[in-house]
Structure 1
């Protein structure tokens, strides 16, 4: 019998763990699971990850997300970089450092774990940190079918169908997901289909073989950013040129991985994974048409063990991660203006290029308890990155092919934990991180490899605590940090689709993060769970000169100084739950000179759910929700330092969705 725990009262908390599920050793991380997912629409991850203090996603559309952690990544024009992304332990960040979290269906996930800053030695020590996505896994020994159907405003339709089976040796989860919506803006239709297979087989008492296959096929039309006048007058409109070209992106993404976990001895375990990724991307844009494919492959192996030293159990980890990808891309003329209003039309080839990218990451940690209260961890990571760029179209002196190999970089990490009560913990951390320049940032204006571009590096200093009071009902996590980043990479726009990179100066990232949860039981039948997270981001340019202008002392572009996320869930034993969340985001500087800022805004969301175990085998859960209840007019994402072309005003703003509604019905049947 499998009840899926559907009638239980769930303690819904945003957990900051000192010894997290996937993270190694004693490094703190923030962890959200399936119960937190139920606060919001299953359409996207933005609202869910924004509950974590220090983490902020700017979402221009379902396919356009920029994740920033403690201000790192805020200056990236489009997409997410300077952060490592892993799916079930497999790295899915590409060779130039970009991650696409939007490629993964939230309903297929069991948890999201975030290590903020470069503390994650075993996961690359990137300046922004690491995000670990863990897919759903069945725990009961049963065979179960489940279907969750969601509908909503702007012709939203989403369906997730799954088959789960677990026996003595075999565990299998097979899922198919479909999503489509017209979007609330012009030219913002979206359609996605995906299949996920996550399975494992026990080869014996000490070993397990796992297989992961994830395939996504989606087409997303692009409304793009708009200027302030259009934003205030009619935020549903698309940028004129993108509407005229009927711009869109079409992606086919495949991830495959095989992992072998083996208990070598009582004190030593190993997990080794080999993986392959493929991306086929086609994007007609007003200025050209981009056609690209990426094939990535690699290996990751990690050993975990322990031994007695001075009569105490000492833990250690070590391993390597090797990743290579082949990136091929071409651009073509877009003849949409001569296509009788039918949208984009491919013309003459403009460029044809190829880049081979490789990364090597080695890592090791050593954790020693001095006594029952005091523990230290020393970690060290080493990274080596190479780029090999080839111009396949031009010949002779016009050919701009070149290579770039960065020197190996050593990234130490030192953590101290002190347990001063049964449920009171304080920690201190010093760690060093880095970020690689993207492809565009490695090229000079004339298109050749820039030999002077350097990796960003930074030192992170952090103090924090994890506290529990009132019989663990009140949970408080506090962290203060300062991260000093040198050789800050700046993507300078020199054309509508042309960026060059340079090391323009230093930044100082100072901040305070507070997460507070309280579990209050009125009676055995009622549970009230209020929570609040607060982020104070005092991030500034220290030495930053661009085009002869000194921006030193100015707040860092693209980062709100204050963010509040709070909420409350009321659960009743009969199966009824009410969830309300509130978010406040302060104004965001849009230019390095701080001459323009986006307006601050407040959002209120509500959903009501009901779940019932109808029989031993059959369960249901229904939910209705309202997003942006007050119909707030706000920018859900911004484009910093936007340039103007053709005499038009700069397009800084991606409008947020107005008030919208959704409902869902989940049915589960266990054999």
Structure 2
């Protein structure tokens, strides 16, 4: 916490020195720090109060550390067990998911990349290929699924200036880290092309945690004429990541580098091949009406030897998304609307095999006999519309409505019996309204409010009974979100403060109760109440004519509890929600000099996290400080170079970067709750840019 005081005391102490350059205008650079623009009327988002980070924020961190960059956003916390093991929570939603991310919707250039049950894998996408990450908190994103957790919109790098550019970014670091990213872009009046290839490899901090990834991205747009434009997106990722898994309290205290014993013996890992192909066409019918329609295909090939079995799966996904956006006269002002639909279907195929690693004399996993063979067809249809009505220059209302229809069709291809051959589950169409109100008291002060309804689908474990058939009693989670916020500017607009209060009441709480190594029972076990406060501040302070200082602060207070929760003979009503820290603070200070020198230091504080529903076990609170310094230099009009070095976890804090909630020890073993965070580690990079 000392760094928090230092950053802001430094900023205000130096303000006296900065008075000499008051005439030097400092614009509010949205890409420099996290911002939560409560008053933007962005049709692409169709909502208010969205946390956004841009490429300039990514550059403040290691290119391998997308988690730390996104964790700057208040209300968002990513529990990261490894580069390939991330669980994103937004306002507490998704915290009870045992592995991975669900209950939100993930988009890449507005193409959905969340699978048919709502699971997402943000780790499949390279930070260096992104232009921005937008986080819609809660279900108010009518045009993006209205999920209880919200939505995350990834935007690939965009090229505005008419030029041809070749860039190579090379990074080395601790744990034998090597990362190289080479990018070519060409932009002219009617055509843009960006091609990127990236390679990453590292041994990792822990045993059995090697990571190796190759990725290719093509992003292109062709403007046919003034009314027509077509875009192509191709993204391919191939990565193999060993799995150290979670460890017990004893191992966490004495040997955090260790892998879980059985995972180490089996040399467990996952091998993934992700493909995304999307084609978008935009037509401007009139100056007040345009349409964008996208067709897309996704493919995942996943192979994962685990100690208890070997999982071999692949998923084919496809669909389309179309959206009409227009404007119209309303009273004396101009309103706007959007209406569209999105269809996503996928075919999920998975098999499991015996893992005979105990018979290989320490050589790792060996595939044995098949023990299951399954197929599931999944379909989601989202229809949505919003209308924005400006009643005056100061007061605007936005009304939204989304309708979701989800269907599952499960088939057991291994076991006999009619019940296993074709089991269907179709949820009733769910109506999801949203109301956003915004009032601008002045150019320096605005308030907004939101009431919205959201939902979450059960994941694959929750849809099936232990016998492997569709659970007919499982229902979707639903909830109502209430939100009130404001944005304020002070000191000639240099100081910006965003403040949000919210309450989200969720019923039909989905619970995946673990009964074995790979066996779960899904059920609706009660309700939760999520209340919280989010504050973000950034202060852009000129220190003379050549130096800018930008201190920033993000604070999250989570008051999330089980309202009603009955699990077997236990009652957990009134307990704190599992997997959510009550307090999270991100604070940082950026310095930039006109000669190209830059420095960024950040601190993240995470409070203790309840690890079991009974609230008898908590992880320890922790604080991690990171710093990066660099220098950029232009050599003539065509060539530039940037060199940087960075340190993560400067004070070598010992902490759990992720926890596994409600862990169970099998065969008398100690439960494995902890994913240790990395110790102090270093990296350095060189980026070369050449304008042809």
**What TM-score range do you get, normalising by the shorter chain?**
over 0.9
Q: Deviations over 1:318-375 (max 9, x none)?
A: 0000010000000000000011211100000000000000000000001101100000
Match of 1:13 in 2: 33
Q: Secondary structure at the match of 1:93?
A: coil
Given the alignment of the two structures, is residue 343 of structure 1 paired with residue 350 of structure 2, yes or no? no
Whether contact under 8 Å (1:627, 1:661) holds in the other structure is: yes
Q: Secondary structure at the match of 1:399?
A: helix
Whether contact under 8 Å (2:608, 2:620) holds in the other structure is: yes
Q: Deviations over 1:99-134 (max 9, x none)?
A: 000000000000000110000000000000000000
Per-residue deviation, 1:398: 7.2
Per-residue deviation, 1:397: 5.5
**Equivalent position to 1:574, from 595, 611, 627:** 595
**Equivalent position to 1:396, from 417, 427, 452:** 417
Per-residue deviation, 1:308: 1.3
Match of 1:5 in 2: none
Q: Deviations over 1:410-444 (max 9, x none)?
A: 00000100000113110010000000001110112
Per-residue deviation, 1:156: 0.2
Per-residue deviation, 1:458: 0.2
Match of 2:691 in 1: 670
Instruction: Output the CA distance in 1 between the equivalents of 2:365 and 2:641.
Output: 45
Match of 1:48 in 2: 69
Task: Specify whether residues 380 and 106 from structure 1 end up closer, same or farther in structure 2 by C-alpha distance, changes over 3 A only.
Answer: same
Q: How does 1:59-458 map to 2 (within 5 A)?
A: 59-396=80-417, 399=420, 401-458=422-479
Q: Deviations over 1:209-245 (max 9, x none)?
A: 0000000000000000000000000000000000000
Instruction: Output the CA distance in 2 between the equivalents of 1:375 and 1:10.
Output: 23
Instruction: Output the CA distance in 1 between the equivalents of 2:209 and 2:511.
Output: 29
Per-residue deviation, 1:23: 3.9
Given the alignment of the two structures, is residue 462 of structure 1 paired with residue 503 of structure 2, yes or no? no
Per-residue deviation, 1:86: 0.3
Match of 2:641 in 1: 620
Per-residue deviation, 1:44: 2.9
Instruction: Output the CA distance in 2 between the equivalents of 1:496 and 1:503.
Output: 21
Instruction: Output the CA distance in 1 between the equivalents of 2:398 and 2:205.
Output: 49
Whether contact under 8 Å (1:10, 1:35) holds in the other structure is: no
Q: Deviations over 1:538-577 (max 9, x none)?
A: 0000100101111011100000000000000111111111
Per-residue deviation, 1:250: 0.2
Gaps in structure 2 of 5+ consecutive residues: 1-25
Per-residue deviation, 1:312: 2.5
Task: Specify whether residues 24 and 185 from structure 1 end up closer, same or farther in structure 2 by C-alpha distance, changes over 3 A only.
Answer: closer
Instruction: Output the CA distance in 2 between the equivalents of 1:670 and 1:567.
Output: 33
Q: Deviations over 1:445-469 (max 9, x none)?
A: 2222111110000000000011111
Q: How does 1:488-637 map to 2 (within 5 A)?
A: 488-637=509-658
Instruction: Output the CA distance in 2 between the equivalents of 1:275 and 1:44.
Output: 28
Whether contact under 8 Å (1:526, 1:573) holds in the other structure is: yes
Instruction: Output the CA distance in 2 between the equivalents of 1:388 and 1:399.
Output: 11
Given the alignment of the two structures, is residue 638 of structure 1 paired with residue 664 of structure 2, yes or no? no
Match of 1:4 in 2: none
Q: Greater CA deviation, 11-20 or 507-516? A: 11-20
Q: Deviations over 1:370-396 (max 9, x none)?
A: 100000010000000000000011113
Could you state the TM-score of these two structures normalised by the residue count of structure 2?
A: 0.95
Whether contact under 8 Å (2:47, 2:141) holds in the other structure is: no
Instruction: Output the CA distance in 1 between the equivalents of 2:499 and 2:597.
Output: 32
Per-residue deviation, 1:306: 1.1
Whether contact under 8 Å (2:28, 2:494) holds in the other structure is: no
Task: Specify whether residues 25 and 10 from structure 1 end up closer, same or farther in structure 2 by C-alpha distance, changes over 3 A only.
Answer: closer
Q: Aligned residues, how many?
A: 664
Whether contact under 8 Å (2:47, 2:140) holds in the other structure is: no
Whether contact under 8 Å (2:88, 2:101) holds in the other structure is: yes
Whether contact under 8 Å (2:270, 2:302) holds in the other structure is: yes
Whether contact under 8 Å (1:9, 1:571) holds in the other structure is: no
Task: Specify whether residues 227 and 85 from structure 1 end up closer, same or farther in structure 2 by C-alpha distance, changes over 3 A only.
Answer: same
Match of 2:79 in 1: 58
Whether contact under 8 Å (1:20, 1:28) holds in the other structure is: no
Whether contact under 8 Å (2:603, 2:623) holds in the other structure is: yes
Per-residue deviation, 1:400: 5.8
Q: How does 1:33-44 map to 2 (within 5 A)?
A: 33-44=54-65
Q: Deviations over 1:476-510 (max 9, x none)?
A: 00000000000000010010111121000000000
Whether contact under 8 Å (1:22, 1:132) holds in the other structure is: no
Could you state the TM-score of these two structures normalised by the residue count of structure 1?
A: 0.98
Gaps in structure 1 of 5+ consecutive residues: 1-7
Task: Specify whether residues 486 and 564 from structure 1 end up closer, same or farther in structure 2 by C-alpha distance, changes over 3 A only.
Answer: same
Instruction: Output the CA distance in 2 between the equivalents of 1:258 and 1:582.
Output: 41
Instruction: Output the CA distance in 1 between the equivalents of 2:186 and 2:418.
Output: 61
Instruction: Output the CA distance in 2 between the equivalents of 1:371 and 1:490.
Output: 46
Per-residue deviation, 1:613: 1.2
